């Protein structure tokens, strides 16, 4: 009887140690650069981004403007870029190409009243560098070729964070 109890307890201890080990490994290998969504939720992809896309009559392209907050929780700097998902808009022939980044701008929370007037300070066209433990408020601008079917303004496309180094 005592042998069975000792075996049971040692099995529970081994499982607990293994579980803690896997949790530590997963937290170490997890990317440290992420978007901050509502309620301070961290994610590397935003399905329903804040922003809009619209047809620009002067350039004959579709323009996207997306607002995100990004944070680098790592102790080293990272170079990052963004990927905008254009599949939904291609289905309706609103665009016929993928979105291409045309500018990344930084703004501060104090500028919220002015966000419709300006994108902020230009900090990169295709990629940006985040310093260690840095948080940035960004406006991401992108363009795509017009697909032929005019549409009213729509919500921003899904956006994904890609860490380059």
pLDDT tens digit sequence for 19-37:
998 888 877 766 688 888 8
Domain containing residue 68: CATH number = 2.60.40
Instruction: Tell me, yes or no, whether 81 and 15 share the same domain.
Output: no
Show the domain range for 70. Answer: 33-163
| 104: CB partners within 8 A, 6+ apart | 82, 122, 123, 124, 125, 126, 127, 128, 138, 139, 140, 141
Query: Cβ atoms within 10 A of the Cβ of 55, count?
Result: 18
Instruction: Tell me, yes or no, whether 51 and 80 share the same domain.
Output: yes
Average pLDDT over residues 88-115: 83
Instruction: Tell me, yes or no, whether 46 and 99 share the same domain.
Output: yes
Mean pLDDT value across the chain: 86
Supply the pLDDT for residue 153. Answer: 60
Instruction: Specify the number of domains making up the chain.
Output: 2
Instruction: Tell me, yes or no, whether 22 and 43 share the same domain.
Output: no
Instruction: Tell me, yes or no, whether 21 and 96 share the same domain.
Output: no
Instruction: Tell me, yes or no, whether 51 and 14 share the same domain.
Output: no
Instruction: Tell me, yes or no, whether 18 and 73 share the same domain.
Output: no
Least confident of 30-34, 62-66, 86-90: 30-34
pLDDT at 59 over 90: no
Give the whole-angstrom CA distance, residue 145 versus residue 39. 35
Instruction: Tell me, yes or no, whether 13 and 89 share the same domain.
Output: no
Confidence of residue 43 (pLDDT cuts 50, 70, 90): confident
Instruction: Tell me, yes or no, whether 53 and 95 share the same domain.
Output: yes
Instruction: Tell me, yes or no, whether 40 and 20 share the same domain.
Output: no
Instruction: Tell me, yes or no, whether 59 and 105 share the same domain.
Output: yes
pLDDT at 116 over 70: no
Instruction: Tell me, yes or no, whether 117 and 136 share the same domain.
Output: yes
């Amino acid at each position: 009887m005592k042998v069975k109890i000792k075996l049971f307890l040692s099995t529970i201890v081994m499982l607990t140690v293994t579980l803690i080990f896997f949790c530590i490994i997963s937290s170490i290998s997890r990317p440290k650069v992420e978007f901050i969504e509502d309620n301070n939720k961290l994610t590397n992809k935003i399905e329903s981004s804040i922003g809009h896309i619209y047809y620009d009559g002067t350039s004959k392209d579709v323009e996207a403007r997306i607002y995100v907050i990004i944070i680098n929780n790592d102790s080293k700097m990272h170079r990052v870029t963004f990927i905008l998902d254009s599949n939904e808009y291609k289905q309706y022939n609103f665009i016929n190409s993928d979105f291409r980044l045309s500018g990344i701008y930084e703004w501060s929370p104090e500028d919220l009243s002015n966000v419709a007037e300006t994108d902020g300070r230009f900090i990169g066209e295709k990629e940006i560098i985040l310093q260690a433990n840095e948080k940035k408020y960004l406006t991401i601008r992108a363009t795509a070729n017009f697909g032929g079917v005019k549409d009213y303004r729509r919500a921003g496309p899904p956006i994904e964070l890609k860490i380059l180094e």
